[in-house]
Amino acid sequence: MKLIAIIKKEYREIVKKKSFIISTILTPLLMAAFMFLPVMLMKMGKGEKIIQVADYSGFIYEKLLQSEKTPSTAKTAPGGRKADFNRDYVDKNTRAEGSKLKFKKIATAGLAAEELLKQNIQAIRDKKIDGFLLIPQSIKKDRKLFYYSGNISDFETNKYIQATIRTVVSRQILIEKQINPEIVNEATRNIEFETIKVKKEGTAKSSAGIEYMMSLFMLAILFSILMGYGQLIMRGVLEEKNSRIIEILISSTDTQHIFYGKIIGIGLAGLTQVAIWFLFGMALVGKFSMGLDSGILNFLTLEIGLYFIIFFLLGFFMYAILFSIVGAAVNTDQEAQQFAAPISYLLIIPFVMGIMVTQSPNSSVAVISSFIPLFTPTLMFMRITVSPPPLLQILSSIFMSLVFISFLAWLGAKIFRVGILMYGKKPSLKEILRWIRYK
């Protein structure tokens, strides 16, 4: 009964916090932004760009204009960015979906390139035009082209102009040499490189990059939750210790009730938050699955969600106990930060190793370290996301974590019992270990 009162109080205290509400709402929004933004940005476009073209070669501008009129919807296909000489003018694959380009021809007859350049640079500075494309007469020979713009880091536009003109020039040369472009096209066709992930049931097309990103992303979420709630517990315990309210609690109920009630209460709050995110994510994926990269969709399965919750809980209890011991042992916030640092390193180590684990999830280092209980919640979870290990390994790592947690809880309750009533100087590690033997 008293245990429930403590759980209830801890739970309510967290859930009513503004920071809880904000992070509950904000995190999925950030997550959504992370998943949808690249796709949306490509779709929304960046507005129209006006580019003046001085075409001294005489044959390129017309082709450019044709490409501009061509509506393009194709997404960037994997691996394909090679010119298609069979088509007249444009390599659709590099067509910038975002920025709509508008080319304008300037008369070049009898005008020196330097003169035009000066005028157009001024126009760019005055923001009358966005870019100036200078195509020298010798383009066929030199294969060189000049593009002036206020923004030369618009990768898509640059790539598009370059690829289009390369195709146009190459084709022109072929025609002049009387070679059928189709033959060249056939001979130089790209080889597509498709990555297929082998799963337990069937196979799924997936892009390695996204898998890798998502895996790290989930790890980052796990890491920040464990850190965030750990700190929250630590500060909560410290507050009770410093305000001496702990004496009232201890004189009302068992220390174990206080210790476990606190961790369970805050754990439930954390679980609430994760559950909200989970439901939110499911709804989002369900509703907008069309807009998502299939790699992300393949990644976010129910199975992964369940594992996330299991490993979240394991990690939560491990680190919550460690942080609450720190909160009980120290006296001030500064001391707490000092003692919490090594615990944070314990969390950072698997985070750093995570990169290695995503690359070679079955290497012996990855396998062994995923069985170290303090690392299991992060590393075993990563291994599952990248390349699911045998179920026996997963279950035994969970079992080992549970054993470790029980041990930690037993130890923690003892240290907590003594530490929470020790005021004054900062305890040394030796003293803390001695507390375990106190009755």
Asked if 91 and 167 count as a contact pair (C-beta separation under 8 A), the reply is yes
Q: Does 118 bind other proteins (CB under 8 A)?
A: no
Among residue numbers 180 through 239, which ones bind other proteins (CB under 8 A)? 239
> DSSP code of 64?
H
Between 127 and 437, CB nearer to other proteins: 437
Between 119 and 242, CB nearer to other proteins: 242
Between 437 and 439, CB nearer to other proteins: 439
Shortest Cβ distance from residue 277 to other proteins (Å)? 25
Q: φ and ψ at 146, to 5 degrees?
A: -120, 130
Compute the residue count for the chain.
Answer: 439
Figure out which of the listed residues 33, 48, 244, 283 binds other proteins, where binding follows CB under 8 A.
244
Separation in Å, CA 214 to CA 336, 345, 382:
33, 23, 10
Indicate the helix (H) or strand (E) that contains 132. strand 131-135
Q: Does 249 bind other proteins (CB under 8 A)?
A: yes
Among residue numbers 4 through 43, which ones bind other proteins (CB under 8 A)? 5-6, 8-9, 12-13
**CA separation for the pair 420, 31 (Å, rounded):** 39
Q: Does 175 bind other proteins (CB under 8 A)?
A: no
Figure out which of the listed residues 178, 251, 364, 428 binds other proteins, where binding follows CB under 8 A.
251
Asked if 329 and 422 count as a contact pair (C-beta separation under 8 A), the reply is yes
- Piece in contact with other proteins (CB under 8 A), picked from 38-46, 62-70, 240-248, 384-392: 240-248
Is beta strand 203-205 parallel, antiparallel or unpaired with respect to 196-198? antiparallel
- Piece in contact with other proteins (CB under 8 A), picked from 3-11, 71-79, 124-132, 184-192: 3-11
Between 17 and 199, CB nearer to other proteins: 17
Figure out which of the listed residues 245, 306, 395, 402 binds other proteins, where binding follows CB under 8 A.
245
Among residue numbers 95 through 114, which ones bind other proteins (CB under 8 A)? none
Site size with other proteins, rule: CB under 8 A: 23
Please give the structure tokens belonging to residue 211.
């898998």
3-class SS at 302? helix
Figure out which of the listed residues 88, 156, 254, 335 binds other proteins, where binding follows CB under 8 A.
254
Among residue numbers 401 through 430, which ones bind other proteins (CB under 8 A)? 421
Residues 6+ apart with CB under 8 A from 352: none
Residues 6+ apart with CB under 8 A from 284: 28, 32
3-class SS at 413? helix
* CA torsion, ordered 65, 71, 74, 75, to nearest 10 deg: 70
**Which residue ranges make up the site for other proteins (CB under 8 A)?**
1-2, 5-6, 8-9, 12-13, 239, 242-245, 247-254, 421, 439
